[in-house]
């Protein structure tokens, strides 16, 4: 199936067809002419005929040259006959965060002396506590010894780590070690879940939301085309989350879908759903026979009594999968470690356990998280490790407070921040990419434009609280200067 | 199990998969055997799992990197999804030397098994694939999961819509391309898992020519390139014309003992284009940025150490150790009058047991010598009558296995 993106001119492949057609045309003409008596043709008629052929040839050559100039600026080369995956063609531009990184780099080239501060990509900045890194160093060194060397690990993760995750985070929620699948992070898990679900499921996301849910859905073929007027992909149910509805979707207006992606505490809005809201969400999923994919990557940032796991809600085990990560807890953004919980009670419509299929996916398309990262994870969940993680999280929470106070004092409506390392600032009536660019240009601070997370994110800027204290304070100083 | 079902239909592609991926199945049988004979010393020459420690020069660099993550200067957060620049450069320069592979064409990953699936995600469900028969199961299973295939047919042992290219002693373990129908994608592994055969330059030239003529894409798995002993090519890109038709996947697993550490890479040349002229590398980059978040920075630090000149020497000596194992095993089977293939350019010996079913041979070997191998039919119907014996193991275990085999089969 050929993909036709908006600009057709660059993609028309004239090469395939023209040589053959030209040959056919000439051949047909010759054959036709053979039927006529040769001596009936006067020299004048012959001259005209040859001129016609020459003219046609020149026209075709022009066409070839024009088209090859319009193609990609690579020399005429071999093309395979493999059709580009039409789903890939649906994607709009690049994934959001590399795009932000690109703009940041461009800005740094433009202003080589500027001290650019990044509060854009939610990238951790503080060193990992020693109790954790020494666990990883120890494991690395052990791999050089006979007794300490280990090869392939279980694809689902090391038993001790699975048990530690189960007892630390799901202790009294009766989630077992065998329900836990250790991974190299939430982003990979989201795609593995999508591969498992396949292309014939429908999905709902919050609007705005972490881009990987939507993009992975497009890639798997669950969606229709991107509709530029509404900035949404066909066949995805977007659940608006804004100040008016307290950043929790009005479920009475949400159509049934097979899968519902829900992130709480939320990236990008920073909102943490209440127990009451999540109870309604679980009921909604149950009534619709849907599967809830619950992203709890920021649970440790909760400062009030909002639920930290979907499994705190009774009945959730029959409707929900939970995805989580060590990235924002332990600064493991580069180390790569996370996990997914698939309860035994979660069943497809034919009664087949979802966990069995996820296990098969994990065994076939994955080969386990790095054993060194897993050793780090185990160290994280020791009493000393937990305490150390809480300290680092506390540091980022303090950053969040500083940023919130700054924007509040400048008269902005500010959301999130209390239960997440993100501050969601409202710029009513303004295009978020314009605000992003203005802030970057005038303060050299990188943020993230809300529309990058979905159409309902427009008019908002996400400010992430990951940064050295000095940088956060400096950024806030610059914000104050810009918006005073 | 009693409970409330959702109304979500199970992915039909998952239903098509045959029960149990091969290696967990073998692991299960091993466990059962160990329960039956608790005192037996089971020797595993089954799953190709490395056993020898990783050289110090590599692990100390990983330990250092880990420790530096606790310092302000040394802490790093998210890395580029395509991999650390220095590592990409080192792979290009050290492993592809004089071949014009750019660092920007290299995508560092957490291993081939993941890369194969990411490539399938890239290709989508509307492509046709060809695989060798026998073959590493992940190419087939990932193809089923993505939806490229029809149902499994018990009579033939094959999935519909996959082209199986027989690789036998008779055709020198390389598909007879004159009788091979064209598909969009061709998976080739060389040195081969499980047969151990390394394709010759001539064979690969024919393959590239075939792919160019039919305008297919070759996915070339060179995970065992380090085991090549003779003049066989170590990369598909040694063949002129390959850049426009091939993707190469490779791994540090069998090269550096990184089976648990998780590190590999994929090469997608700039010149590789879809039928509409769109560069494959652009789409693969998007997949990597959307469905992945980079290999562990610690593993990448280890990879960089492997590619230093001292590191290369150190990991190569471990590879040589396994190659010596392969020779011992190969010689053992040969001395028993069996036809043995592979073993010279790969850490696998492919032993022929004419007229016998491979699961029966597997079971008999396990029962009588307490040695785990892999039944050839697990790699496809073309693997029947063969057993794969892997050369990963401590030397004493290899020698002991050798003794047991000699006493059973002589």
* Residue A8 pLDDT: 38
CB distance B6–A349 less than 8 Å?
A: yes
Choosing from B281, B307, B333, the residue where a domain stops is: B307
Domain assignment of residue B398, yes or no = yes
* Residue A135 pLDDT: 98
Domain assignment of residue B2, yes or no = no
Q: Measured between CA atoms, how close is B258 to chain A, in angstroms?
A: 7
Is B188 in the same domain as B233? yes
Which residues in chain A have Cβ-Cβ distances shorter than 8 Å to B317?
Answer: none
Is B263 in the same domain as B372? no
Is B340 in the same domain as B288? no
Domain assignment of residue B104, yes or no = yes
Domain assignment of residue B126, yes or no = yes
Q: Residue A84's closest chain B neighbor by CA?
A: B274
Q: Measured between CA atoms, how close is B142 to chain A, in angstroms?
A: 7
What is the domain-level CATH number for residue B402?
Answer: 3.90.1150.10
Q: Measured between CA atoms, how close is B126 to chain A, in angstroms?
A: 8
CB distance B277–A195 less than 8 Å?
A: no
* Residue A54 pLDDT: 75
Q: Measured between CA atoms, how close is B275 to chain A, in angstroms?
A: 5
CB distance A184–B110 less than 8 Å?
A: yes
CB distance B74–A127 less than 8 Å?
A: yes
Q: Measured between CA atoms, how close is A383 to chain B, in angstroms?
A: 18
Choosing from B274, B307, B340, the residue where a domain stops is: B307
Per the omega criterion (within 30 degrees of 0), is the bond before B194 cis?
yes
Is B35 in the same domain as B94? no
Is B288 in the same domain as B393? no
User: Angle, to 10 degrees, between the axis of helix A96-110 and the axis of helix A432-443?
Assistant: 30
Domain assignment of residue B288, yes or no = yes
CB distance A83–B215 less than 8 Å?
A: no
Joined together, the tokens standing for residue B343 give 């073993």
Is B254 in the same domain as B345? no
Confidence of residue B25 (pLDDT cuts 50, 70, 90): confident
What is the domain-level CATH number for residue B297?
Answer: 3.40.640.10
* Residue A26 pLDDT: 60
Which residues in chain A have Cβ-Cβ distances shorter than 8 Å to B244?
Answer: 77-78, 80
> Which residues lie below 8 Å from residue B240, measured CB to CB, with a gap of 6+?
B208
Which residues in chain A have Cβ-Cβ distances shorter than 8 Å to B295?
Answer: 336, 370
- Please state, in angstroms and rounded to a whole number, the distance separating the CA atoms of residues A184 and A55: 63
* Residue A27 pLDDT: 62
Is B26 in the same domain as B85? no
Alpha helix ranges (H) inside B336-410: 358-369, 395-409
Counting Cα atoms < 13 Å in the Cβ hemisphere of A62 gives 6
CB distance A84–B275 less than 8 Å?
A: yes
- Please state, in angstroms and rounded to a whole number, the distance separating the CA atoms of residues B143 and B18: 13
* Residue A17 pLDDT: 46
CB distance A219–B142 less than 8 Å?
A: no
* Residue A50 pLDDT: 80
Distances (CA, A) of A272 to A261, A276, B197: 15, 12, 57
Q: Is this structure's pTM higher than 0.80? A: yes
> Which residues lie below 8 Å from residue A223, measured CB to CB, with a gap of 6+?
A90, A214, A217, A233, A234, A235, A236
Is B228 in the same domain as B126? yes
Which residues in chain B have Cβ-Cβ distances shorter than 8 Å to A8?
Answer: none
Q: Which of B244, B260, B291 sits opposite A78 (nearest CB)?
A: B244
Mean pLDDT of B134-138: 95
- Please state, in angstroms and rounded to a whole number, the distance separating the CA atoms of residues B187 and B129: 7
Is B224 in the same domain as B82? yes
Q: Measured between CA atoms, how close is A410 to chain B, in angstroms?
A: 31
Mean pLDDT of B316-330: 97
| Sign of the alpha-carbon dihedral angle for B313, B315, B318, B324 | negative
Is B396 in the same domain as B329? yes
Phi and psi at A58, nearest 5°, equal -65, -40
* Residue A166 pLDDT: 98
User: Nearest CA to A472 among A129, A126, A209?
Assistant: A126
CB distance A127–B138 less than 8 Å?
A: no
Q: Measured between CA atoms, how close is B386 to chain A, in angstroms?
A: 23
Q: Residue A3's closest chain B neighbor by CA?
A: B276
Domain assignment of residue B353, yes or no = yes
Task: Give me the residues of chain A with pLDDT under 50, please.
Answer: 1-15, 17-24, 66, 68-75
Is B287 in the same domain as B374? no
A111 three-state secondary structure? coil
> What torsion do the CA atoms of A265, A270, A274, A280 make, to the nearest 10 degrees?
-80
- Domain total for chain B? 2
Confidence of residue B181 (pLDDT cuts 50, 70, 90): confident
* Residue A59 pLDDT: 66
Query: Is the pLDDT score of B66 beyond 50?
Result: yes
**pLDDT (tens digit, 9 = 90+) per residue, B219-244?**
999 999 999 999 999 999 999 999 99
The helix (run of H) or strand (run of E) holding residue B273 is: none
List residues bridging with B188 in a β-sheet.
Answer: B220
Domain residues for B171? Answer: 57-307
Q: Which of B55, B142, B270 sits opposite A364 (nearest CB)?
A: B142
CB distance B11–A198 less than 8 Å?
A: yes
- Please state, in angstroms and rounded to a whole number, the distance separating the CA atoms of residues B365 and A406: 73
* Residue B410 pLDDT: 79
- Please state, in angstroms and rounded to a whole number, the distance separating the CA atoms of residues A347 and B97: 52
> Which residues lie below 8 Å from residue A305, measured CB to CB, with a gap of 6+?
A275
CB distance A79–B273 less than 8 Å?
A: yes
Domain assignment of residue B12, yes or no = no
Query: Is the pLDDT score of B20 beyond 80?
Result: no
Is B225 in the same domain as B316? no
Interface confidence: ipTM more than 0.90 = yes
Mean pLDDT of B255-270: 98
CA A51 centroid distance within chain: 60
Choosing from B285, B307, B329, the residue where a domain stops is: B307
What is the distance between the terminal CA atoms of chain A, rounded to a whole angstrom?
A: 55
Which of B8, B395, B396 to probe the A interface (max A CBs under 10 A)?
B8
Strands A460-464 and A448-449, by their bridges, are antiparallel
Q: How many CB atoms lie within 10 A of CB B153?
A: 10
Joined together, the tokens standing for residue B396 give 């004493």
What is the distance between the terminal CA atoms of chain B, rounded to a whole angstrom?
A: 51
CB distance A184–B184 less than 8 Å?
A: no
Q: Residue A122's closest chain B neighbor by CA?
A: B78
Domain assignment of residue B165, yes or no = yes
Residue positions counted in chain B: 410
- Please state, in angstroms and rounded to a whole number, the distance separating the CA atoms of residues A96 and A93: 8
């Amino acid at each position: 199936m050929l993909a036709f993106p908006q600009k057709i001119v660059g993609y028309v492949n004239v090469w395939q067809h023209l040589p053959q057609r030209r040959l056919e045309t000439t051949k047909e003409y010759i054959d036709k002419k053979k039927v006529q008596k040769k001596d009936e043709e006067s020299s004048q008629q012959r001259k005209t005929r040859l001129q016609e052929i020459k003219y046609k040839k020149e026209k075709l050559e022009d066409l070839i040259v024009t088209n090859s100039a319009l193609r990609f600026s690579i020399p005429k080369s071999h093309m395979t006959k493999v059709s580009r995956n039409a789903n890939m063609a649906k994607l709009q531009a690049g994934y959001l965060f590399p795009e932000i990184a690109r703009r940041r780099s461009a800005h740094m080239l433009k202003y080589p002396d500027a001290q650019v501060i990044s509060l854009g990509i939610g990238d951790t900045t503080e060193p990992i506590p020693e109790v954790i890194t020494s666990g990883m160093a120890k494991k690395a060194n052990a791999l050089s010894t006979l007794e300490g060397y280990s090869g392939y690990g279980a694809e689902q993760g090391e038993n001790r780590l699975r048990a530690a995750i189960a007892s630390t985070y799901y202790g009294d929620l009766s989630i077992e070690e065998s329900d836990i699948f250790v991974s190299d992070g939430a982003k990979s898990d989201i795609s593995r879940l999508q591969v498992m679900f396949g292309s014939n499921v429908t999905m709902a996301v919050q609007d705005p939301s972490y881009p990987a849910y939507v993009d992975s859905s497009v890639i798997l073929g669950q969606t229709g085309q991107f509709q530029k007027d509404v900035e949404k992909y066909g066949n995805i149910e977007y659940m608006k989350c804004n100040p008016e509805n307290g950043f929790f979707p009005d479920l009475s207006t949400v159509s049934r879908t097979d899968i519902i992606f829900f992130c709480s505490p939320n990236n990008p809005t920073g909102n943490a759903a209440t127990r009451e809201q999540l109870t309604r969400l679980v009921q909604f999923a149950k009534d619709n026979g849907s599967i809830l994919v619950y992203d709890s990557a920021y649970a440790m940032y909760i400062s009030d009594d909002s639920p930290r796991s979907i499994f705190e809600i009774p009945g959730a085990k029959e409707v929900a999968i939970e995805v989580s990560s060590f990235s924002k807890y332990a600064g493991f953004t580069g180390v790569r470690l996370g996990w997914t919980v698939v309860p035994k009670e979660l069943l497809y419509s034919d009664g087949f356990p979802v966990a069995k299929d996820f296990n098969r996916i994990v065994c076939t398309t994955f080969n386990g998280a790095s054993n060194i990262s897993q050793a780090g994870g185990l160290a994280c969940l020791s009493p000393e490790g937990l305490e150390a993680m809480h300290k680092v999280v506390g540091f980022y929470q303090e950053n969040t407070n500083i940023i919130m106070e700054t924007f509040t004092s400048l008269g902005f409506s500010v959301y999130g921040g209390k239960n997440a390392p993100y501050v969601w600032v409202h710029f009513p009536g303004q295009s978020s990419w314009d605000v992003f660019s203005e802030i970057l240009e005038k303060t050299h601070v990188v943020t993230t434009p809300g529309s990058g997370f979905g159409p309902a994110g427009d008019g908002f800027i996400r400010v992430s609280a990951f940064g050295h204290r000095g940088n956060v304070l400096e950024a806030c100083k610059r914000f104050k200067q810009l918006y005073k | 199990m009693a409970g409330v079902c959702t109304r979500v239909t199970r992915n039909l592609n998952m239903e098509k998969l045959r029960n149990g991926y091969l290696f967990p199945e073998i692991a299960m049988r091993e466990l059962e055997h160990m329960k039956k004979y608790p005192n037996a010393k089971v020797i595993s020459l089954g799953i190709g799992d490395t056993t020898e420690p990783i050289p110090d020069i590599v692990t100390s660099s990983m330990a250092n990197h880990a420790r530096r993550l606790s310092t302000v200067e040394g802490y790093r957060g998210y890395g580029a999804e395509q991999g650390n620049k220095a590592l990409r450069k080192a792979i290009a320069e050290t492993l592809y030397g004089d071949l014009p592979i750019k660092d920007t064409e290299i995508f560092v990953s957490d291993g081939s098994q993941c890369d194969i699936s990411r490539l399938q995600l890239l290709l989508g469900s509307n492509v046709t694939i060809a695989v060798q028969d026998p073959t590493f199961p992940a190419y087939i299973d990932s193809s089923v999961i993505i939806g490229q295939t029809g149902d499994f047919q018990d009579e033939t042992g094959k999935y519909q819509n996959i082209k199986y290219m027989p690789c036998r002693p008779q055709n020198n373990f390389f598909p007879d391309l004159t009788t091979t129908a064209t598909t969009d994608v061709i998976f080739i592994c060389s040195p081969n898992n499980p047969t151990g055969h390394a394709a010759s330059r001539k064979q690969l030239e024919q393959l590239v020519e075939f792919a160019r003529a039919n305008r297919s894409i070759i996915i070339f798995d060179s995970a065992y390139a380090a085991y090549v002993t003779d003049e066989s090519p170590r990369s598909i890109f040694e063949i002129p014309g390959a850049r426009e038709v091939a993707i190469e996947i490779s791994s540090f697993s069998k090269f550096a003992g990184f089976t648990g550490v998780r590190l590999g890479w994929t090469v997608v040349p700039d010149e590789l284009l879809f039928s509409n002229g769109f560069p494959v590398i652009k789409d693969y980059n998007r997949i990597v940025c959307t469905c992945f978040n980079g290999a562990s920075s610690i593993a990448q630090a280890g990879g960089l150490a492997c590619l230093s000149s001292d590191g290369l020497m150190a990991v190569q000596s471990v590879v040589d150790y396994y190659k010596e194992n392969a020779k011992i095993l190969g010689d053992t089977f040969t001395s028993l009058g069996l036809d043995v293939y592979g073993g010279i350019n790969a850490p696998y010996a492919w032993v022929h047991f004419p007229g016998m079913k491979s699961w029966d041979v597997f079971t008999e070997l396990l029962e009588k010598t307490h040695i785990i191998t892999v039944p050839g039919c697990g790699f496809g119907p073309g693997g029947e009558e063969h057993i794969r014996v892997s050369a990963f193991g401590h030397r004493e275990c290899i020698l002991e296995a050798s003794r047991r085999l000699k006493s059973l089969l002589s």
